[in-house]
Every structure is written in structure tokens, then in C-alpha cells.
């Protein structure tokens, strides 16, 4: 009976409308896949791990994010969904930048991947200690900045899907929240979004080398003992990631 009903509906629907319906069904399935691989329902836990003083991530979550990054690079998007396409590509660019750092620098420990603290593994050597501590601090700060930017990109996509595909999308669940801090100094959650912008300016490119260089500069070189901090919430991560600084 259901099949007969669907055939009857199809017979009364124009070819263009059928194509639109098929595209929307594919997009809805792709959004659902993004939700699963990005661990959207566990976003606070995911961001809490990356925002630790010693950043880490579960191996299974990292595997899903790497799979998602490759999947996003492969996509051929339909026309007519400008906001959704821009948001997907923006999320993919930010994720790709974050995973470059994770893939090149994180080390396995049991079921986790973590940013190694090389300065804790050496014998007495002040100059090498400073070098390794500085390197760790710069990379940790970059991870925190990209975690914030990825949260903004996720919420951009949620808004885009609700605007162009399904007005009721995540009406119950709402936007994702980023968790920051720890049990010792206290934690907080934040809803991060991009300022209103022309969708034609997206997606933005993200250079990990440029972001590392700018972060080190703003940290006064990167040695945390200099007590020079960055207001991460005020940083325009895309601008910091645009190009390397002249030397």
C-alpha cells in the first residue's frame, strides 16, 4: 500500500520537483552523517578534551574526524543551497587545519591521542627545556583557537540547514556548546557563532603555519613563563590563519 501511494504521489509530481526532493533527501542524509562523524551530540565532551591544559582526544573520535575530513573533501555539492555548501566547506577547512596539527603532533596513550609534553621527558637541559616548553605552549594555544573556530563552524552549519533545508532542524537540541576549563580552575560552556557575514566570503582558508606563527608572536615567542596570554575569545582565527608573517 505504501509503495502504491508513493507511486501515485510521484505520478502527480513534476520532474523538477522530484529532483529537488531527491537532492533534499541526499542532503538530509549527508547532514546526519556529519552529525555522527563530528560527534555533534558529544560536542561538549569533545571540546572539553581539546581545551584541557594538556589537550587530548579519544582515538575513536579522532578516527571519525579524519574520516569526516576526507569525506568533506570528496563532496560534489548541489546548486541552490549556497549557505549549506559554504557552511560544510567552512567546517571542512577548519577541521582540516586542526587535524593537521593532531596528525603531525599527537601521540597515542592507551585509548587516547595527546599533545606530548616533551619538556617533561628530558634530563637537565635549560635551553632544550625552554624550546620544548615553548613549542608545546604554542601548539596548545593553536588547538584551543581551532576548537573555538570549529564550534563556530558547526553552529554555522546548523543555522544553514535550518535556513535552507529543514526549518525544524535541531529545534529541540539547539546549537552546540563548547566546554572550556577544568575541574581545578572551573569550567564553563559557551555558544560560539560567527558574526553576521556575507555568505560569499565563505569558506575561509586556514593555514596552520600562519596560525602557529601568529600565535607565537602574540605570545611573545611562546614561553609561558613570560606570562603573556592571548584572549582566545577575541581572536579572529581566520585572519590569524591567512598568511605567514614577514621575517
Q: Quickly list DSSP for 151-171.
A: HHHHHHHHHHHHHHT-TTTTT
Sheet holding 107-109, edge to edge: 56-58, 112-114, 107-109
Give burial (CB, 10 Å; 0-12/13-18/19+) of 44. Answer: middle
Residue 236 confidence (pLDDT): 94
Tens digits of per-residue pLDDT, 62-82? Answer: 999 999 999 999 999 999 999
Cell of 178: 563548547
Q: What is the largest CA-CA distance in the chain?
A: 80
Residue 55 to residue 44: CA distance in whole angstroms: 14
Residue 108 to residue 228: CA distance in whole angstroms: 30
Residue 239 confidence (pLDDT): 95
Phi, psi of 172 (to 5 degrees): -80, -45
Residue 245 confidence (pLDDT): 57
Residue 247 confidence (pLDDT): 46
* Residue 181: DSSP 8-state: E
Q: What do you get for the CA distance between the two ends of the chain, in Å?
A: 72
Q: Which residues of the chain have pLDDT under 50?
A: 1-2, 4-6, 8-9, 11-12, 247
Residue for grid cell 546548486: 79
Residue 26 confidence (pLDDT): 94
Residue 229 confidence (pLDDT): 82
Amino acid at each position: 500500500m505504501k509503495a502504491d501511494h508513493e507511486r501515485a504521489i510521484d505520478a502527480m509530481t513534476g520532474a523538477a520537483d522530484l529532483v529537488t526532493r531527491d537532492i533534499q533527501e541526499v542532503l538530509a542524509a549527508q547532514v546526519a552523517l556529519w552529525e555522527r562523524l563530528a560527534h555533534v551530540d558529544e560536542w561538549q565532551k569533545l571540546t572539553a578534551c581539546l581545551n584541557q591544559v594538556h589537550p587530548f582526544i579519544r582515538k575513536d573520535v579522532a578516527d571519525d574526524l579524519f574520516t569526516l575530513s576526507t569525506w568533506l573533501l570528496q563532496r560534489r555539492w548541489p546548486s541552490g543551497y549556497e549557505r549549506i555548501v559554504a557552511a560544510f566547506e567552512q567546517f571542512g577547512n577548519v577541521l582540516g587545519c586542526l587535524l593537521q596539527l593532531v596528525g603531525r603532533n599527537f601521540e597515542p596513550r592507551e585509548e587516547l591521542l595527546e599533545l606530548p609534553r616533551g619538556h617533561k621527558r628530558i634530563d637537565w637541559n635549560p635551553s632544550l627545556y625552554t624550546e620544548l616548553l615553548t613549542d608545546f605552549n604554542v601548539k596548545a594555544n593553536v588547538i584551543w583557537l581551532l576548537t573555538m573556530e570549529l564550534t563556530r563552524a558547526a553552529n554555522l552549519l546548523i543555522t544553514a540547514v535550518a535556513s535552507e533545508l529543514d526549518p525544524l532542524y535541531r529545534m529541540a537540541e539547539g546549537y552546540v556548546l563548547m566546554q572550556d576549563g577544568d575541574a581545578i580552575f572551573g569550567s564553563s560552556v559557551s555558544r560560539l557563532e560567527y558574526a553576521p557575514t556575507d555568505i560569499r566570503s565563505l569558506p575561509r582558508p586556514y593555514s596552520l603555519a600562519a596560525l602557529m606563527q601568529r600565535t607565537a608572536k602574540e605570545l611573545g615567542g611562546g614561553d609561558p613563563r613570560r606570562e603573556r596570554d592571548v584572549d582566545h575569545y577575541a581572536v579572529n582565527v581566520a585572519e590569524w590563519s591567512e598568511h605567514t608573517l614577514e621575517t
